[in-house]
Amino acid sequence: MVKTINVQGIRAPNSGILADNVIKNMDNSDEEIRFLLSPGAEVGMEAVARKHGYTLETSKSGDLIEARLMPTGKTMQEIDVRGDFCPGPVIAVGNIIAALPVGERLKVKAAGSDTLEDIVMAVKSSGSGVVDQGVEGDHHYLIAEKAEKPEAVSAIVNRDSVVIAQSSGIGNAERAYATFLFSKVGLSMGKKVTIFLLMDGAGLAKKGNAACVKHPEFERLDVLMDEVIKAGAKVYVCELSAKFRGIGPRDLVEGVRLAGAATYLELMSNPANAVVNF
């Protein structure tokens, strides 16, 4: 458990004096403490951390500064999921976060941004947060912070997003066309459209495949697909289905991104999304 103390409004050096007293009164010297400070009040916190054998990390938290004091030697847990593919990273990260005390953090290293986005989706869906993400050298990373999942409340939601799950592929031309024609309609209605290609639908993500489909009454499928992507539809292809069919990142149609099971499940379970299956 990380103790969080909001001391906004208190300026330096009083913030440091207060922090010193808080640490002296802690029951457990192994406990991590997080102070939420007004900008500028972090001055002097380094000296307090050193005095008590803590390591200080500061970061922005909205309009405030977050100063985390961790007992020196206690480091943030890390997991490296490079080389692993969906659903492995999401499961591994989820298991670690489930065991973390509230407020503690986990650093995740991933090879690509697609895997990372899938993990972000899973972390947020579990009620925890992502406090930082970016690129370090040759890999992507995120820092997740464990939080309690808020109780679900029933609410009336506007379904202004449409998710089209496409699992038939070019083997069923009518369903393939419907996927992108319905998307065009959705976009014209001002709705956010997300297409998730999975199972045989993953074949549509491979360059050249959609160009083989042409119905006399409609544009060639790859042209239609390109129109929809350029109009703002997000198109994901299931990482597992793509791998199953030997489709790699370089084979993908421009604008199509790999996504994992967590992204799919989150899209399906979000009550704001109207889901259509083709």
Partner 1 sequence: MSYEKIGQELKELLGLRGSPVAVKLAKTGADLPAGYQKVPEKSRHCQFVQNARLTGTKGYATLDEHMCKGGAGVMGIGPIPEHLSTGSTFHKLGNFRTAEGALDTVSAIPKSTESYYASVYSPLESAEFEPDVVVVIATPKQALRLSQAYLHELGGRISSDYSGIQSLCADAVVAVIERGVPNMTLGCNGSRKNTGIADEEVILGIPPRNLPAIIEALKIFSEKWG
Non-local (6+) Cβ contacts of 167 within 8 A are 197, 198, 199, 200, 201, 277, 278
Residue with smaller CB distance to partner 1, 27 or 217: 27
- Rounded alpha-carbon distances, angstroms, from residue 1 to 30, 56, 103, 109: 10, 17, 6, 24
Residue with smaller CB distance to partner 1, 20 or 57: 20
Residue with smaller CB distance to partner 1, 65 or 193: 65
The structure tokens listed for 152 are 């679900």
Q: In the complex, what is the shortest distance from the CB of residue 86 to partner 1, in angstroms, rounded to a whole number?
A: 37
Positions in the binding site for partner 1 (CB under 8 A): 4-10, 14-15, 17-18, 20-22, 24-26, 38
Q: In the complex, what is the shortest distance from the CB of residue 147 to partner 1, in angstroms, rounded to a whole number?
A: 13
Residue with smaller CB distance to partner 1, 31 or 266: 31
Q: In the complex, what is the shortest distance from the CB of residue 72 to partner 1, in angstroms, rounded to a whole number?
A: 20
Task: Give the type of residue at 32.
Answer: E
Q: In the complex, what is the shortest distance from the CB of residue 54 to partner 1, in angstroms, rounded to a whole number?
A: 16
Which residue has tokens 């799919």?
264
132: left (phi over 0), alpha (psi -120 to 50) or beta: beta
Residue with smaller CB distance to partner 1, 18 or 92: 18
Residue with smaller CB distance to partner 1, 15 or 167: 15
Burial of 22 (C-beta count, 10 Å sphere; 0-12/13-18/19+): middle
Residue with smaller CB distance to partner 1, 60 or 250: 60
Q: In the complex, what is the shortest distance from the CB of residue 62 to partner 1, in angstroms, rounded to a whole number?
A: 11
At 161 the three-state DSSP class reads strand
Q: In the complex, what is the shortest distance from the CB of residue 65 to partner 1, in angstroms, rounded to a whole number?
A: 14
- Rounded alpha-carbon distances, angstroms, from residue 155 to 93, 152, 271, 272: 30, 9, 9, 10
- The dihedral through the CA atoms of 157, 158, 161, 164 has a sign that is positive
Q: Which of 30, 116, 21, 16 is CA-nearest to residue 67? A: 16
At 145 the three-state DSSP class reads strand
Q: In the complex, what is the shortest distance from the CB of residue 5 to partner 1, in angstroms, rounded to a whole number?
A: 5
